[in-house]
Structure formats: C-alpha cells, structure tokens
Chain A
Amino acid sequence: MKIQTGATGVYERTSRFIKAGVLRDTPAWYTIVGSHPPFNDMTKKQKLFEAGAQKADPFKQINIKKADGYYKTRHSKNDLKVQHNSIFRVQKLQFIEDQIRDVFYHQHPWEFSRPKILIENNDADTYKKCDWSHMLQLYKPLDGESVVQRTLWLLSNSKPTPMSLEEAYDAARFEFYQLRMSEEMSSTVSREESELLGAVYPTTHMEWGLKQEAEYIDPWTVAAAEMTQIKESGKSSKSKEGSMGSESTVARESIWESAIVEGGESSQ
C-alpha cells in the first residue's frame, strides 16, 4: 500500500490557500502547526539503517574487483540467508486481561461448560456500552469475562485506597459468586414455581437419547438372553461332571435373565 503523506502537508496547502485568497481567515491551529510541524515522512525505517550500522547490501557487491584482484561473481549461501528475520515477525501482544482470564478459567474450569454464543457481530459496540462500575450488564450475560473487566475497572477506579491486582480480582470474583448464586436460585425457583402452577416440561436430551437407545437394546436383551442360555447349556453338557451336570450348573439361570425374557415375550 502506498504510504499516505497528504495529511502532513496540510500546513503548506493552507498557506497556499490563504495566499491565493481561497481562505479568508487563518485557522486557529495555523500558527501552532507552523511552529511544531508534523513529521512528513511516514515511512517506517529500519533502525540499523537509520543509525548507519547497516552492513553493505551483499547484492551490490557482485562483479566488483576486490583488493586481491579477484571478482566475486555469485552469492555465497550466507549472503542469500534472510538475516534479522525477527523484524518480519508479528509482535507478541501481551495484555493483562489475558492473564486474568487465564487464571479465572483455570480456577473455574466448569465455567467453560456454559453455553456461549461464539458468533458476535456487534462485539465492539457491546463492550463500549458496558459500564463496569457494577458487574451485571444489560448487554452481556454474566461470565468469566465480567470478572476480568470488573477487575480492571476496580484496579483503576478503587478509591480512596487503590487496590492491588489480587485484591481487585478477589473482590470481582466474590461479586461474581454472589450473582451466580442468585441467578441459579432464581432459575430453580422459577422452574419450581411454574411446575407448581401447572407447567409441563418436555423431555431432556438425555431422556430422549435413552429412549432411542432402549428401542434397540430391548430386543437385543431378549436375543442375548436366548443366546446366553444356549451357550450355558452347551457348556454344562461339556462339564467335567458329565452330561447330567452338577447341581450348581443346572440352577445357574439368574433372576435377571428370566425377568428380561418375560418382559420380552409380553411386549411381542
């Protein structure tokens, strides 16, 4: 992208406008900008180059006669290597928010299990609207992020004695616990209240899943019971005691099997 430097020439342009009579009055900022002109070169410079400590460009050292009378005709491996590649790397951004968030979610791993909307179209706007002088927000549900933001607010706004990071975090955390307790009690009471006033809730996902499973498990138990019986009878016929079998092997059928078989027959 071309570096835009137009804005820095505003003083020159205004001077020209005044001289030409386009502007009648001098703007209020005119003298100030005149005495403290902005830098007009916005190009990002490499520091070594600025300081004059940059090594000569190896690409320009080709085909020049050296002191010993020889010519360097091609680049060495070292010349071709990209040096100082750290300047091309994206800087590692570090924020205290991330650290607080990390601590909070390590201490409260179950907070991750709460459903959360991951698509946030108006994220920036939402956070601008929030006022962290209190933890509950109109635009945002109570979660770990509330603790982070509230901690930061307490850090910079606690009066008259400023709080340390730990104190602020603990204060925010205890507020969070209190609000969570209240929220959970509220949902429990609401459910109880509406149940007692006649509400009927649909089956949960768990119950629905069990029902689906049962459709396949029920016939299987019948079949499995039969197969087990056959297997058991086969075993007992091969037992050491001979084909009659011992008393214990004969009376081996468990109450569970008979119960399942009875249930299976009646359902067919």
Chain B
Amino acid sequence: MLKNGIRIKKSGLSLRQVRNFSFQLPSISTLDQVKAANSDYDGLFKNSTVKQIWYERGQHLLDGLNQTMEDHGLDKTGTDLQTIITGLISKPQLYGVYSYSASLYTLQFFLESLKPNNTSEISTPTADTLLKTPALNEYTNVPTNPVLVDWINQLFGSIDEFRTLLLNSARGIKGDGYVWLVAKLTVSGKTENTKYIYKELSVTNTYNAGVVDDGLRSGQVTKLKGQKQARLDNLRKRADELSQLEGSSTQNTELQAEIAQLEDDINLKELGTVEEAEDITVYANKKLVPLLAIDASPRNYLLDYGVFGKNKYLDNLWESIDWDVVAKRMPPRSKQFFSID
C-alpha cells in the first residue's frame, strides 16, 4: 500500500513504517574523474576496469542491498552501511543484507585508499614471471606521515618488512579477499573512566564478505550455547508432558536420543573449544580499526594484468596507496612510556 511515498507494511502484529528510500552509489572523487575524462586510472586500472569494478559491481551490490532490505522490510532511514553491518552480523536469517552491505563497504573503503600514480605501468606478464623472485625494494611510494612511519617501523621493523608482509598476505589469497592494515583498540577500565588504547598495528585478511572488526563477533559462541540450553529445556518439558499423557512407562525414543545428544554437547567434560576461549578472552575488549584495505581478488587483476599478473598488480597497488588517506584514518597512538628491549 503506497501513500505519498510512504509504504505501510504489515509485519507480525505491529505496523512498521518503511520510507520509500534507497541508498545511492557513493561518490569517490578519483574514480569520478576517471569516468568523466574517460581516461585510465594511471598506473593501476584501465578505464573499462574502473567501470566494471566500481560503477557496475558497486551498482550491483547496491541494488542487491536495496532489494534485500525491502524484501525483509528493514528501515533504511538514518542508517549507514557500518550500522547495518554491525547490527546484522549475528543474524544469520538476514545474511543476504549483511553480505551486500559488507561487500559494498569494503569495496568503497579499498577504492578510497588509492590514488593514481605515474611510476607504475599496466602490463600483462607472461607465465615465466611466476618464477621470478619478487623485488624487495623496487618501490617509490612510502608513507610520509612521521607518526605512521614511526608506528610501522616499531611494529613491523621497517617499511620493507611491512610491505613484504602485506603483499605476501595478499599473494596467499586464492579467491575473493582483502588484506587490511588495522589498528588494535583495547578498551580498559570501568564505564566511568574507560580508556581507549591503540598500541598495535597489524595485518589481517578477510575473505568473501568478511569484515575486519573482531569486536562484532563477540558473544557468538555464548549465544549459541544459550540457544542450545533453551532447546534442551524445551525438549525436556515436552518429554515430561508426553510421558504424563501416555503414562510413565512409554517413552519417546527419538526425543530421548535428541535430549541425550544435546546434553552431551553442552556438558562436555573437556576443556572448551578454541572458539569459546577466544569468545571469552580475545574479543571481549578488543576492536580493530581499519586503516588500509587491499583487494587481492582475481576480478581486479584478470582484466588488465591477465592470469599471471597478480604480482604485478600488487606491486602497482602498493604504488597507488594514498598514504594521506591512511594517515587520516589513523587513530591517536598510545605510546608506551617505557619499553623493555
């Protein structure tokens, strides 16, 4: 039912208002310039590739997001991608919405951290380049922000080492995936005087529609355990009712087997799983703040660099990193007052 652009939809018992509003493709200035001038993205992508990876794929993801949100009757007003991702990461029934929004967010994040460059060339390497040892220090693009340089040097040893780690992580990805440079946030203290401490930088990978923020995963296993417990309670109740109805002698064997299985699952006389330990310790007070993303998926390099072009593409990608953007995203660094060497 449409009324002045406002659609009233009946879902369950409550009437929820859903504005007829849809997300637009975000504008990325470097890509818009390339599109307007009908030129290449210097040193990284050809014009047609830019169109394909952002204007076509971006639009496809956006359409998918708008459509799935409408299908599920979700309110789009006042939300942004980050909110959607955070809200939906632990709701498997809304996986489609989450997947579209996460893909779009990471793609935008990746493309925004790049700038055209004049040093590298787009070429199609041949098969024998696969056997070449990657060059260690044949690059010109380095971060200039002194705080960032100092931070990288302290955490990774040197820019050379950081570059090797970043590009090696990207080389390892076989399918669709991103490599991220992240700052680790540790939250300490009680609510009144909470401290936000950024001590470490680190390199991490995500695959498919993965997002980098570990904090979002927090509580998954506990939640799963709670669900199992609730299910067990329900089954026990049902078994009791059944036995009362049919007389205490008869017992539903299937039900009993299921109860036994669940009991086994819950009351393992073992140490917990790694996931449980992580859930309790690692994600509780941690958050990862992304500074830089590198897309290593084949769809980015196949068009311009060919099947053997991943290394060349990654080298060019390094040359295209806009370190000013990275420095802007960088949170204030919490320096240790003493260090034991």
Contact = CB atoms under 8 A, between A and B. Distances in A.
Contacts of B164: 178, 181
Interface in B155-207: 164-165, 168-169, 171-175, 177, 205, 207
Contacts of B134: 178, 182
A185 interface: yes
Contact of A185 (B132, B171, B175, B208): B171
Contact of A181 (B168, B208, B269): B168
Nearest to B168: A185
Of A174, A179, A187, A192, which is in contact with the most chain B CB atoms at under 10 Å from its CB? Answer: A192
B207 A175 contact: no
Given A193-B207, A196-B210, A178 B169 contact: no
Interface in B102-155: 130-134, 136
Interface residues of B, number: 21
Contacts of B269: 263, 266
Contacts, number: 55
B205 A178 contact: no
Interface residues of A, number: 23
A14 interface: no
B205 A192 contact: yes
A8 interface: no
A157 B54 CA distance: 47
12 contacts: A136-B132, A136-B133, A178-B133, A185-B165, A185-B172, A189-B205, A190-B174, A193-B175, A193-B177, A196-B207, A196-B208, A196-B210
Closest 10 CB pairs of A and B: A189-B172, A185-B168, A186-B172, A136-B131, A175-B133, A134-B131, A182-B168, A185-B172, A196-B207, A193-B207
Given A178-B134, A196-B208, A196-B210, 13 more contacts: A134-B131, A137-B131, A179-B133, A181-B164, A185-B165, A185-B168, A185-B171, A186-B168, A187-B172, A189-B169, A189-B205, A193-B175, A197-B208
